Amino acid sequence: MIPVYALPSMNSLRIYNTLARDKQTFTPRRAGEVRMYVCGMTVYDYCHIGHARVMVVFDIVQRWLRTLGYKVTFVQNITDIDDKIIRRAVENNEPIKSLTQRFIAAMHEDARALGVERPDIEPRATDFIPQMLGMIDALHANGYAYQAKDGDVNYAVRKFADYGKLSGKSLEDLRAGERVAANDAKEDPLDFVLWKQAKAGEPADSGWDSKWGRGRPGWHIECSAMGCTLLGEHFDIHGGGQDLQFPHHENEIAQSEGATGQTFVNYWMHNGYVQIDNEKMSKSLGNFFTIREVLEKFDAEVVRFFIARAHYRSPLNYSDVHIDDAKQGLTRLYTALKDVEPDNQQLDWNEANAQRFQSAMNDDFNTPVAVSVLFELASEVNRTRDAALARQLKGLAGVLGLLAREPRAFLQQAAGTGARQGLAPHEIEAKIAERVAAKQAKNYAEADRIRAELLEAGIALEDKPGGSTEWRRV
Residue 295 is given by DSSP the state H
Is 283 annotated to bind a ligand? Reply is yes
Cβ atoms of residues 176 and 190 within 8 Å: yes
- What is the three-class DSSP state of 440? helix
Q: Known binder of ligand: residue 186?
A: no
As a dihedral over the C-alpha atoms of residue 304, residue 306, residue 308, residue 312, rounded to 10 degrees, the angle is -120
Residue 398 near residue 1 (C-beta atoms within 8 A) = yes
The answer to whether 323 touches 298, Cβ cutoff 8 Å, is yes
The C-alpha atoms of residue 254 and residue 161 are separated, in whole angstroms, by 9
Spell out a b/e string for 400-418, using b for 16 or more CB atoms within 10 Å of the CB, else e. Answer: bbbbeeebbebbeebbbee
The answer on whether 228 is annotated among ligand-binding residues is no
Q: Is 196 annotated as a binding residue?
A: no
Q: Are 75 and 231 in contact (CB under 8 A)?
A: yes
381 sits in the region (left: phi over 0; alpha: psi -120 to 50; else beta) called alpha
Strand pairing category for 22-25 and 469-473: unpaired
Residue 223 marked ligand-binding: yes
Q: How far apart are CA 363 and CA 374, in angstroms?
A: 17
The DSSP result for 365-392, as a single string, is --HHHHHHHHHHHHHHHHHH--HHHHHH
Q: Write out the binding residues.
A: 39, 223, 248, 252, 283
Q: Write out the binding residues for Zn(2+).
A: 39, 223, 248, 252
Q: Write out the binding residues for ATP.
A: 283
